[in-house]
Structure 1
Amino acid sequence: MELKIVNTEKELQDAYKVRFTVFVEEQGVPEDLEIDELEQEALHFIGYEEEEPVAASRMRFVDGYAKMERICVLQSQRGKGFGRDILLFMERIAKEKDMDKSKLNAQTRAEAFYQSLGYETISGEFMDAGIPHVTMTKSI
C-alpha cells in the first residue's frame, strides 16, 4: 500500500470516500457526524493499493497529543496489515512534527489491535456515534 499525506483535492475526496464507505455505509454512523467541523484543522492521510483508495485517517494536534482519528480500511482490504501501516505512518509524521505522544478513541472491538501496537487504555467505555469506544494513549 502506498501511504500519503493528503495534498490534493482528489486525495481528500478519496479519503472521504473510504471513510464514508466504512463508517457511514458499513457501521451506520450518521453522515453529519462522520464529516465534521474539525476536517479543516486535521492532517489527512490516504492509502492506495494499485491506485485504488483503500485506507484513510486524519490526525489533529490536541492538548500535547497527536490525536489519531477516523482510521479505517475498506472491508475487502482488511487482514493485510493496512491498519497497522497507516497508524505507524501517522506516528512517524507526528514525531517529525515534534510530538512524543499519541491518543485515539478506539472502537472497543479494535482495542486489542491498538494494544498490539503499544496503546494503553486510559478510560472506561463510552458511546460515540452509537458505537462503544475507549480512549487509548501511547508514547511515540
Structure 2
Amino acid sequence: MHGTRIPLAKPDSRAVTIRLARDPNDLMLVTAIRSAVYLAEQDCPFEEEFDGNDMVAAHFIGYVGNEPAGCLRVRFFGDFAKVERLAVRHQYRRSRVSFKLVQASVDYVKRKGFRKIYGQAQDRLVDFWAHFGAKPLGHNRKITFSDFSYTEMLLEIEPGPDAITLDSDPYVIIRPEGDWDRPGVLDASAGRAVTSPLRDLALADR
C-alpha cells in the first residue's frame, strides 16, 4: 500500500489495489464513491454523510483493475484511531476490496504506533468487523444516526516493529504519508546544491 497512482493499464482487470488519497482529485473519487453508496443507495442526507471531518482524515481508495471501487476514512485521536465511512460500489461487493481496505487501514494504524482502533459498525455488519478481531466495546451504549443503529467496536492491536516513533530516522518522519519506506523529495533535497539565498544568512547568524 502506498500513495502513488496506479498505472493506467493493468494486466489483471480483477486485481485489487489500495492506496492513500493524495490530492483534491483523489478526494473527488472518495466523494463520488460515498455519494453512490450512502446518498444514492441509503438515501443519506448530504450534510450527514459529508460531516466536516474529511479534511482532517486519511482516506484510502480501493481499485478493482483501474476502476475506483471503494474507500475508507481514518481519523486519529489521543490514544486510538477511528476507522469509518467504508463504502464499496455495488458492482464490486463480491470482490475483496472491502477486506483489503480494512486491512490496509489496520496496517497503517499499526505503523503509526497506535494500539487501539475504534469503529461504529451498522448492527448487520458486526460479524464483518469481527473477522478482523474487533469486538463490541461492551458498555451497551447504542448509537443511531442517519437512520441506522450502530454497535461500538474495538480492535486492540500491537504496533509493528517498524512503527514510527521519535527514535525513527528523521527523514522517514518527513516522507509522504504512508510512503515511509521510500526516499521522498526531502531526502533528495538534502543532497542537492544549495539554492536559497537565505542559507548564507542562516549560517552567519550562528
Q: Do both share a fold (TM > 0.5)?
A: yes
Match of 1:72 among 76, 87, 93: 87
Report what 1:86 is aligned to: 101
Match of 1:98 among 104, 113, 117: 113
Instruction: Give the partner amino acid of 2:104.
Output: F
| 1:23 and 2:34 are equivalent in the alignment | no
The secondary structure found in structure 2 opposite 1:102 is strand
Instruction: Give the partner amino acid of 2:130.
Output: Q
Displacement of 1:62:
1.9
Instruction: Give the partner amino acid of 1:78.
Output: R
Report what 2:171 is aligned to: none
Instruction: Give the partner amino acid of 1:130.
Output: D
Instruction: Give the partner amino acid of 1:34.
Output: E
Match of 2:122 among 98, 107, 118: 107
| TM-score of the superposed pair, with normalisation by structure 1 | 0.94
Indicate the structure with greater strand content: 1
Match of 2:67 among 47, 52, 56: 52
Instruction: Give the partner amino acid of 2:117.
Output: S
Report what 2:150 is aligned to: 133
The secondary structure found in structure 2 opposite 1:71 is strand
The secondary structure found in structure 2 opposite 1:2 is strand
> C-alpha separation between the residues in 1 aligned to 2:60 and 2:38?
16
The secondary structure found in structure 1 opposite 2:101 is helix
| 1:37 and 2:37 are equivalent in the alignment | no
Indicate the structure with greater helix content: 1
The secondary structure found in structure 1 opposite 2:71 is strand
Displacement of 1:75:
1.3
> Cα RMSD (Å) of the superposition?
1.2
Aligned residues: 140
Report what 2:17 is aligned to: 2
Q: Deviations over 1:85-111 (max 9, x none)?
A: 100100111111111110111111111
Displacement of 1:12:
1.2
> C-alpha separation between the residues in 1 aligned to 2:115 and 2:32?
30
Structure 2: 5+ residue stretches without partners:
1-15, 158-206
Identity fraction in percent: 25
Between 123-132 and 42-51, the greater mean CA deviation after superposition: 123-132
| 1:61 and 2:76 are equivalent in the alignment | yes
Structure 1: 5+ residue stretches without partners:
none
> C-alpha separation between the residues in 2 aligned to 1:133 and 1:98?
27
The secondary structure found in structure 1 opposite 2:83 is strand
Q: Deviations over 1:69-124 (max 9, x none)?
A: 10111111112221111001001111111111101111111111111221101144
The secondary structure found in structure 1 opposite 2:52 is coil
Displacement of 1:31:
0.8
Displacement of 1:16:
1.1
